[in-house]
Amino acid sequence: MKNVPFFDYPQLWTREKKALIDLIDNTSSKGGFIMQTELEDFETNLSTYTKSSYAIGVGNATDAMEIYLQAIGLQEQDEVIISSHTMLATASAIVQAGGKPIPVDIGFDNLIDPDSVENAITSKTVGIMPTQLNGRTCDMDKLKAIASKRDLFIVEDSAQALGSKFKGKFAGTFGLGSCISFFPAKVLGCLGDAGALLTQDESIYEKSFQIRDHGRDKNGEVMCWGRNSRLDNIQAAILSYKLQDYENVITRRREIASMYETQLSGLEELSLPPSPDSDPNHFDVFQNYELVAEKRDDLKLYLASNGIGTLIQWGGMGIHHFKNLGFNQSLPNTDKFFQGCIMLPMNIFISDSDVDYICETIKNFYRS
Ligand SMILES: *Cc1c(COP(=O)(O)O)cnc(C)c1O
């Protein structure tokens, strides 16, 4: 029996230990811990890679969302429409910035459903915040058409989507602001918490730049109320180093997705995510390989008993399922989705033979 963990965290360190120790040593030896050249360099590298006008390194992606929503000037009672299939962070960022998250249903592609967005618009709606889920960018043409018709802003939760594109344009560069997460298990993961904010708007850039460092501008003058959410310099150095190899990481993830597709598409008990080359408008980076499976809970146990780790995203809860946070509604597609969703191992630590083993084990489960 093989052992294929869902995500083998120690490998983030062990696979590149020598290079990482050198980076940490170089940066630490010169005392470069906070807001030094490594952070500035990484911000430049990130904005260059995503063809974004501006990038700001912050403590994590949740902070990034709070900061740009604050910079936009979200007001109390302002409603922002989100997908219910997202991390709690999307909703909590809106609440922390003073607004009200309105979760809506997902569409056939498991991303926010444009029709549900339109139906949720009220006189209090000010914006739409789509989540670029699992490394796939939403159909931004449809969302932008809705937004411009109703004069709403778009901001993106692109925490899972660095490198993903819709019609050749990078996730995170469609709206007023967006976030990227470098949580260890993200496609570009560092050795702890870290995130970034992208924006194309100079005034949001300047305001966000100030908010993340106690309201201070580049000259140290206090311009507004702020907070401390700076991206650690050592993490920035590590991220620049890893960004150099990022294209290969994406290629490998797409290769694994194709292998899953080839081996599992014959099983009618499964509903798979779109394959990497199925739609020329979408370039997916496969942060996750999330599918919907019949007898999901039994499948999960069977895979575990065969040494294969899986994960049910967000603990199996959409935003509208959190009754303790005041939500009480039903969203048919999302409700159905969460009864069957499961994520298979998807990262550069797994080998071709691991993928074969996972697929064989799934086939055995449905055959028996
Ligand atoms: C990981 C994630 C976040 C939060 O990122 P942090 O860096 O941990 O704050 C937000 N939204 C989505 C969709 C995520 O996957």
**Model confidence pLDDT, tens digit, residues 162-178:** 999 999 999 999 999 99
What's the CA-to-centroid distance between 355 and ligand 1, angstroms? 26
Query: Which of 337, 266, 340 minimizes the C-alpha distance to 300?
Result: 340
- CB neighbour list of residue 230: distance below 8 Å, 6 or more residues apart: 34, 35, 39, 57, 58, 59, 212, 213
Centre of ligand 1 to C-alpha 11, Å, is 21
Residue 215 has a CB neighbour count (10 Å cut-off) of: 15
Helix, strand, or coil here: 191?
coil
Q: How far away, in angstroms, is 67 Cα from ligand 1 center?
A: 14
Token pair for 261: 């597709």
* CB neighbourhood size of 302 (10 A): 17
Read off φ and ψ for residue 240, nearest 5 degrees: -60, -40
The reply to whether ligand 1 has any atom less than 6 angstroms from the CB of 195 is yes
Is the C-beta atom of 157 inside 6 A of ligand 1?
yes
CA 307/CA 4 separation, integer angstroms: 6
Query: Is residue 336 predicted with pLDDT exceeding 90?
Result: yes
Q: Measured between alpha carbons, how far is 356 from 23 in angstroms, rounded to an integer?
A: 36
Residue 322: is its pLDDT beyond 90?
yes
How far apart are the CA of 74 and the centre of ligand 1, in A? 20
Distance CA 367, CA 10 (A): 34
**Which pTM value belongs to this model?**
0.97
Tokens of 263: 């081996």
The residue whose CB lies within 8 Å of the most ligand 1 atoms, and thus the one to mutate among 183, 231, 286, 319, is 183
**3-state SS class at 259:** helix
Mutational test site, ligand 1, from 65, 111, 157, max ligand atoms within 8 Å of CB? 157
Q: How far is the CA of 360 from the centre of ligand 1 (A)?
A: 32
Judged against a pLDDT cut of 90, whether residue 304 lies above it is answered with yes
Tens-digit pLDDT profile for residues 230-263? 999 999 999 999 999 999 999 999 999 999 999 9
Cα separation, 122 vs 143, whole angstroms: 16
Choose one of 158, 179, 235 to mutate for the ligand 1 pocket test, by most ligand atoms within 8 angstroms of C-beta.
179
Task: Give the distance (Å) from ligand 1 centre to CA of residue 363.
Answer: 32
For the CA of 60, the closest atom of ligand 1 is 7
Burial (CB count within 10 angstroms: exposed 0-12, middle 13-18, buried 19+), residue 350: buried
Q: pLDDT tens-digit profile of 194-232?
A: 999 999 999 999 999 999 999 999 999 999 999 999 999
Cβ count near 71 (within 10 Å): 25
End-to-end CA distance of the chain: 18
H/E element, 198: strand 195-199
Predicted confidence (pLDDT) at residue 346 exceeds the cutoff of 90: yes
Q: Which of 349, 342, 183, 172 minimizes the C-alpha distance to 270? A: 342
61 in ligand 1 pocket by Cβ < 6 Å?
Answer: yes
Arithmetic mean of pLDDT over the chain:
97
Task: Give the residue, out of 69, 90, 181, with the most ligand 1 atoms within 8 A of its beta carbon, to mutate for a pocket test.
Answer: 181
- Distance (Å) from CA 239 to ligand 1 centroid: 17
| Residue 152 confidence (pLDDT) | 98
Predicted confidence at residue 229, as pLDDT, reads 98
Number of alpha carbons in the 13 Å side-chain half-sphere of residue 177: 27
* Contact indicator for 249, 187 with CB cutoff of 8 Å: yes
Contact 34, 233 (CB under 8 A): yes
The residues facing 222 across adjacent strands are: 216
DSSP structure class, residue 112: B
Q: What residue type is assigned to position 121 of the chain?
A: I
DSSP of 209-223, one letter per residue?
HHHTBTTB-TTS-B-
368 pLDDT higher than 90: no
Q: Specify the 3-state DSSP secondary structure of 115.
A: helix
How do residues 79-97 score in pLDDT, each as one tens digit? 999 999 999 999 999 999 9
d(CA 78, CA 340): 33
Residue 226 CA: distances (Å) to CA of 66, 95, 209, 211, 231: 11, 17, 9, 4, 15
> pLDDT confidence of 275, banded at 50, 70, 90?
very high
How far, in Å, is the centroid of ligand 1 from the Cα of 177?
15
